[in-house]
Amino acid sequence: MKFDTKQESFDGTVSSEIDSTLYNFIKYLPGCIYLKDINGRYLACSDYLLTDSALASRKIVIGQADHDLFDRHYADQLRQNDLQVIDTHQTIVAEETIRLSDHVERIYQVIKAPFYDNSGELIGIIGNSINITSLKQTQAALQNAKEKAEIANQAKSNFLATISHEFRTPLNAIFVMAQILAEQNLTKDQQSAINTILDSSQHLTKLINDILVFAKIEANKIQLHYELLDFHHLISSTVTNISHQLENQSIQLNIHYDHHVPKTMLSDANALRQILINLLSNAIKFTDTGEITVSVEKMDSTRQIKVSVSDTGIGISAEFLPHAFDRFTQLDSSYTRKHMGSGLGLSICKNLVELMKGDIGINSTENKGTTVWFTFPLDESNHTFNTEETKKTPPLVKLNNTKVKKKHLLIIEDDLLNQKVLTTFLSQLGCTFEIASTGKQAITLFEKSNFDIVLSDLGLPDISGIDVIKHIRTTKKGKNLPIIALTAHAFKEDADSCLQAGANEVITKPIVLSTLQSVIQQGHHVSTA
């Protein structure tokens, strides 16, 4: 549509032929619109370019090039983009930065396209630049906040991991000494007191483990380790190991297998065991009488395994149920709450299940019971399987009275309390020993004396226990010597590091003495080659 009315045109001249609709379109279109010739001189520009760039009038712009208006550093960047359009005859999208006399940098999202005359000859470029300075500042602020949050989160995770590790050292002394005392001729009241110490120590150990797993989840450091495992054995051994918590309780613990569930499969044994332990611990915590049932079934429609833990306990209210998997959420948060816990158990289960590409859910009726179920993909294997691969620390049981055939041990431990508890226990077993408080001292003692077994902590003040183990394995007399690593680090990768260094066994603190006794009794020269 044409109007005879004279208007100011795009380039600042007056034309009676300009289409007023097109003029207004360009005038009010957001962004700095401009037309340049082949040499980069401005032929026309919109009002917005003048306002946004703090330029006084078109007279300052028209006929000028970027090098006439902006500092060379910025003008070079703009001209380079113009030449790319001219050379390629292609539209480009880029970011450009300019700074004017007000000394304020402006960042623009630009689109530049080739501009042709009526004969099709390239005569310049046309562009539109949108000021995104505020957006960039907001993005930078968000990125800075994100980085600070990540640093703070990492610091928190490191703190949790460190403090959990440090808790294990004094806890080990309490736990081991209580086990030693439990074997003495005690009165009924004394035995009851010792049992309370043992139960509390095990409860604290569970809390520490939850904190460690939570710290790794928060730091995105949980990695799954798929291996061929005897799934039936994993379920039954985990249930057996946790059944000691049911002593003096009128609760029956059941396992129901669907006969279609394969015996062996590829999965992460540690993740499955952690999930099952947390679910069983919760069920035991909230069930006074009745039964707890572990059900395992194969879901043919989705080729998944479904594991359910059901109890006849107090159940969960409808109000609380939607928050059951939230972190730090507890059924009863009052000061007088009966059931202890960190509020992390179900949240950890949810994270582990999701890592395994599975699903988890909960059904509950208050005062009738709860069922928590989870699924994970089935990856069957027809390979033969040795159930020894799934062996784990047994539950706390009474020590046997059999003296260990006299053995001479090298104890590598820097903590005086842990030295005392180990030497007290080993003396009762009839063993002799020498103690090293540092890695260098351990190597010196090893070179001077002959030992039947080495017990080594990992966190030593000079060189690590891992390096000590590696050194021992390089020697002729240490090549096949049984080495037991004692560690307050509870993750699989920590145990793997010990085994790769040459340890034959890894025992996590706090130490279950029946486990240590069994390992020492069975100690023999094992080839690690």
pLDDT confidence tier of residue 1, bands split at 50, 70 and 90: very low
Torsion, Cα 483 484 489 492, to 10 degrees, reads 80
How does the average pLDDT of the chain come out, rounded? Answer: 83
SS3 403: coil
Mean pLDDT of 110-135: 94
Residue with tokens 């992390």: 344
Do residues 355 and 195 touch, judged by C-beta distance below 8 A?
no
Residue with tokens 């904190």: 211
Residue 242 — left, alpha, or beta (φ > 0 → left; ψ -120 to 50 → alpha)? Answer: alpha
Residue with tokens 């950890």: 348
pLDDT at residue 527 tops 70: no
Greatest pairwise CA separation for the chain in angstroms: 116
Q: DSSP letters along 131-164, please? A: E-HHHHHHHHHHHHHHHHHHHHHHHHHHHHHHHH
Do residues 438 and 413 touch, judged by C-beta distance below 8 A?
no
pLDDT confidence tier of residue 154, bands split at 50, 70 and 90: confident
pLDDT confidence tier of residue 30, bands split at 50, 70 and 90: confident
Integer Cα distance of 165 and 227 in angstroms: 27
Peptide bond before residue 510 is cis, with ω within 30 degrees of 0: yes
Q: Where are the alpha helices (DSSP H) in 15-132?
A: 20-28, 47-52, 58-61, 66-69, 72-88
Residue 200 — left, alpha, or beta (φ > 0 → left; ψ -120 to 50 → alpha)? Answer: alpha
**Residues β-bridged to residue 108:** 96, 131
Mean pLDDT of 329-338: 49
Mean pLDDT of 86-103: 90
Integer Cα distance of 516 and 482 in angstroms: 13
Could you tell me what percent of the chain has a pLDDT over 70? Answer: 86
Residue 330 is given by DSSP the state -
What number of residues does the chain have?
Answer: 529
Domains and CATH numbers, the chain: 12-136 (3.30.450.20), 139-219 (1.10.287.130), 227-377 (3.30.565.10), 408-523 (3.40.50.2300)
pLDDT digits (tens, 9 = 90+) for 448-471: 999 999 999 988 999 999 999 999
SS3 341: coil
Mean pLDDT of 318-324: 89
Helix axes 345-355, 269-285, angle to 10 degrees: 150
pLDDT at residue 161 tops 80: no
Strand segments (E) across 367-509: 369-377, 408-412, 432-436, 453-457, 483-487, 505-508
Cβ burial, residue 298 (10 Å; 0-12/13-18/19+) = middle
Integer Cα distance of 379 and 368 in angstroms: 35
Query: What distances in angstroms separate CA 451 from CA 51, 174, 414, one per listed residue?
Result: 86, 28, 19
pLDDT at residue 5 tops 50: no
pLDDT digits (tens, 9 = 90+) for 384-431: 444 434 344 444 445 555 556 689 999 999 988 889 989 999 998 899
Query: What distances in angstroms separate CA 347 from CA 325, 328, 441, one per listed residue?
Result: 5, 8, 44
pLDDT at 93: 96
Mean pLDDT of 66-80: 92
Integer Cα distance of 472 and 502 in angstroms: 9
pLDDT at 481: 94
Do residues 371 and 306 touch, judged by C-beta distance below 8 A?
no
pLDDT at residue 11 tops 70: no
Q: Which amino acid is at 377?
A: P
Measured over the CA atoms of residue 349, residue 350, residue 356 and residue 359, the dihedral's sign is: positive
pTM of the predicted structure, to 2 decimals: 0.56
What distance, in Å, lies between the first and last C-alpha atoms of the chain?
Answer: 91
pLDDT at 509: 85
Q: Which of 116-125, 129-138, 387-396 has the lowest mean pLDDT?
A: 387-396
Strands 359-365 and 408-412: unpaired
pLDDT confidence tier of residue 341, bands split at 50, 70 and 90: low
Instruction: Please name the residues in contact with 384: beta carbons below 8 A apart, sequence gap of 6 or more.
Output: none
pLDDT at 446: 96
SS3 281: helix
Alpha carbon 363 to its chain's center: 28
pLDDT digits (tens, 9 = 90+) for 209-219: 787 788 778 77
Do residues 211 and 160 touch, judged by C-beta distance below 8 A?
yes
Mean pLDDT of 69-76: 91
Residue 388 is given by DSSP the state G
Residue 184 is given by DSSP the state S
Integer Cα distance of 271 and 360 in angstroms: 14
Residue with tokens 């939570």: 214
Query: What distances in angstroms separate CA 497 from CA 267, 458, 504, one per listed residue?
Result: 21, 10, 12
Mean pLDDT of 434-461: 94
